[in-house]
Amino acid sequence: MPRLDGLEACRQIRRDPALAQTPIVMLTAAGREADRARGREAGADEYLTKPFSPLALLALVEALVPETRSWRPM
């Protein structure tokens, strides 16, 4: 991102009262435990590393926001 990184974006979302309860999933190539800890400290609800499964991402979103089921098995 040109102006700020994902951690700072996460912090800013958490500071905004209108967005503070918005679920945040960080999707990143930074997969060390220290990176995950920084994501949690910044306010991320979930942390997914690349490469990732699109189905795993959908499952995370559905777990965080169950009323927006985006994928249903046939």
Segment (H or E) for 49: strand 46-49
Name which residue leads in pLDDT, 66 or 9. 9
Contacting residues for 58 by C-beta, under 8 A, at least 6 apart: 70, 71
Residue 50, helix vs strand vs coil: coil
Dump pLDDT digits (tens) for 5-61: 999 999 999 999 999 999 999 999 999 999 999 999 999 999 999 999 999 998 888
What is this structure's pTM? 0.80
Residue 2: Cβ within 10 Å count: 3
The CATH number assigned to the domain with range 6-68 reads 3.40.50.2300
Residue 71 has pLDDT above 80, yes or no: no
19 residue type, one letter: L
Short-list 16, 70, 10, CA closest to 45 = 10
Q: Which tokens in the block code for residue 54? A: 């699109």
Residue 69 has pLDDT above 90, yes or no: no
What pLDDT sits at residue 8? Answer: 96
